[in-house]
Structure 1
Amino acid sequence: MNKTIFITGASSGIGKITAKYFQEKGWNVVATMRTPEKEEELTLLDNVLVTRLDVRDPASIKGAVSAGIEKFGKIDVLLNNAGYGAYGPLEATPMEKIRRQFDVNVIGLMETIKAVLPHFRINKDGIIINISSIGGKMTFPLGSLYHGSKFAVEGLSEALSFEMEAIGVKVKIVEPGMIKTDFGGRSFDFNNDENMVEYQETISKLFAAFSVVTETASDPIVVAEVIYKAVTDGSDQLRYTAGEDAKAIVAQRKQLSDAEFIGGIKAQFGL
């Protein structure tokens, strides 16, 4: 019997590439997204169920989990991939935007885990893969919302891994670096108030630096390969970095003091 992976945020980017990658490896795939009626590619693949899930809608989460189990009999892996990045000065960001960032990247992720856990607990088996980011280990200027949410994913995932041992479930974190996806488009929310003139120079430097680092971004297939390794290697390894830039930053973060590392970030952004 083929194993089944349940993926959130499968309409584009890492989620979509990973859905196709696992399908090609012979897996059943539950590919969830907010607007499945717009999906034209994954619906043509064998052993792929495309269904609606909005991580801010608990009913849709439960419905998608039930649909996946009904279709394939079992869910073996949960991949929490849905997410986006909110950037900009905290002062200029409306509270509704702040809440939405954490609702999607953190609360929705936890809600999805809670929906799948009864199934995993009954089977005494399962793997939870949470897509974090290298941005859960370090920060860029004007990223207090995004980085705050990814630091939360890191912490909750590590803590969750202890209690999951009681029901035979493994928790793993995948930390991509800069990836060539539409994250800078529909998955990127920038907030600003030009009347707050004190922040505008930092904003200009942020976009200038981003334009440079995105030129060396990795292909999302790199992340799909790391996810597949995390799922299939049979180890208890908790964290997996994805992308050469991510590996370099992790190594540098371990070697340098906080002052040295933050000084390097300031220099990179001309601050």
Structure 2
Amino acid sequence: MTKTVLITGSSTGLGYATAKKFANEGWNVVATMRKADQRLTEENPERIFVTELDVTKPATIEAAIAAGIARFGRIDAVVNNAGISVLSIFEATPMNVIRQIFETNVFGVIAVIQAITPYFREQGSGTIINITSNVGFTSNPLLSFYVATKHAIEGLSESLSYELESQNISVKLIEPGSMQTTNFASNTMSASQDVSIPQAYKSYFDHMMNAMMNYPFECADENQAADQVYAAACDPSARLRYLAGPDSEETARLRWTQSEETYMQTMRNLLGQTAWLNRQA
């Protein structure tokens, strides 16, 4: 029996690559996005069905699930990939921007899970795959709200993994590192233009932005991450977390093999924080 996956945020980047990966592996794919773009359908019209889904609009979630089932007969896995970010100074970030990030990255994920869970429960099986990030277990400056949303989904997913196991529903976490081959970074930069930088932070912000441009780790690409999403969907074990990319693997090693004090100092050095502090001394 051919399996079917529904993926949010499929128009570009990791979502796009993941849709192609599943289709190439013989799965049916319900590729969802806020505005339907038929490029994916054109690549594989037999396997890929494109429909609209905005995770901040519950009616579109229900409609996309229904449309996917109508097209392919069932849904076996859901990949929560849609997400947004902003680079900003914490104290200067407007509350409406903060709420927008949480609406998409946290409440949107929750809405999709709540919509699909009754279907999976009645079906007797299903897999929920949530895309977080290596900042879901580490943190970066200037990304405090994005980091907070990813930490929230990490905790939510671990708790749900126990709860939904009782209904034969699996929960998986994919933790990619930075994927500079996607347009996520450029979208983040664009969104950040709307947030002003207080003069007191200007020197720090400029320094840390320059440090980000010289990222100290080898990045993943979306295809490596898509491979991990597919592996998670096919893994019947109780494994929860799947690292994706060299930088994710390295930051996980640093996080979990060092003392807290050593880890924090290591990250200060790698992220450029120590260099800025030394410059101010």
Task: Assess same fold via TM > 0.5.
Answer: yes
How far, CA to CA, are the matches of 1:10 and 1:214 in structure 2? 29
Q: What whole-Å deviation, never above 9, does each CA across 1:152-203 have from its counterpart, x for those lacking one? A: 0100000011110111000000000111211111255325424x21111221
SS of structure 2 residue aligned to 1:122 = helix
Q: CA RMSD in A?
A: 1.5
Q: Is residue 223 of structure 2 the alignment partner of residue 224 of structure 1?
A: no
Match in the other structure for 1:30: 30
Cα distance in 1, alignment partners of residues 76 and 61 from structure 2: 16
2: CA distance, partners of 1:25 / 1:230: 14
Residue 182 of structure 1 corresponds to 183
Q: Amino acid of the residue matched to residue 32 of structure 1?
A: T
Contact 2:40-2:48 at 8 Å conserved across structures = no
Structure 2 length-normalised TM: 0.92
Q: Distance in 2 between matches of 1:121 and 1:113?
A: 12
Corresponding letter in the other structure for 1:267: N
**Secondary structure of the residue that 1:130 maps to in structure 2?**
strand
The equivalent residue for 1:266 is 268
Task: Report the Cα distance in structure 2 between the residues aligned to 1:225 and 1:71, rounded to whole angstroms.
Answer: 25
Shift of 1:214: 8.2
Shift of 1:215: 8.2
Aligned to 2:3: 3
1:119 corresponds to 2:122: no
Matched with 1:13 is 13
Partner of 2:39: 40
The 4+ residue runs of structure 1 with deviation greater than 6 A are none
Gaps of 5+ in 1: none
SS of residue in 2 equivalent to 1:213: coil
In the alignment, which residue of structure 2 is the partner of 1:242?
Answer: 244
C-alpha distance in 2, partners of 1:57/1:214?
38
Contact conserved, 1:83 with 1:187, CA < 8 A, in 2? no
- Give the Cα–Cα distance (whole angstroms) in 2 for the partners of residues 9 and 214 of structure 1: 28
Sort the Cα spacing of 1:39 and 1:208 in 2 relative to 1 into closer, same or farther, 3 A: farther
User: Any conservation in 1 of the 2:40–2:50 contact (CA below 8 Å)?
Assistant: no
Which residue does 2:109 correspond to in 1? 109
Deviations, residues 217-264 of structure 1 (Å, cap 9, x unaligned): 222100011111111122110000000111111011112222222222
**Aligned residue identity for 2:248:** A
Match of residue 199 from structure 1: 201
229-238 vs 252-261, which moves further: 252-261
Residue 44 of structure 1 and its aligned partner are, at CA, apart by 4.0
Larger CA deviation: 168-177 vs 201-210: 201-210
C-alpha contact 2:219 2:246 (8 A) present in aligned 1? no
Contact 2:217–2:247 under 8 Å retained in 1: no
Aligned identity (percent) is 38
- 1:43 Cα shift? 3.8
Establish whether residue 147 from structure 1 lines up as the match of residue 147 from structure 2: yes
- 2:49 & 2:12 partners in 1: Cα distance? 15
Instruction: Indicate whether 1:88 and 2:88 are aligned.
Output: yes
Residue type at the aligned position of 2:254: Q
**SS of the counterpart of 1:185?**
helix
> SS of the residue aligned with 1:247?
helix
Q: How far did 1:5 drift?
A: 0.4
Please state how far the C-alpha of 1:90 moved relative to its aligned partner: 1.4
How many equivalent pairs are there?
269
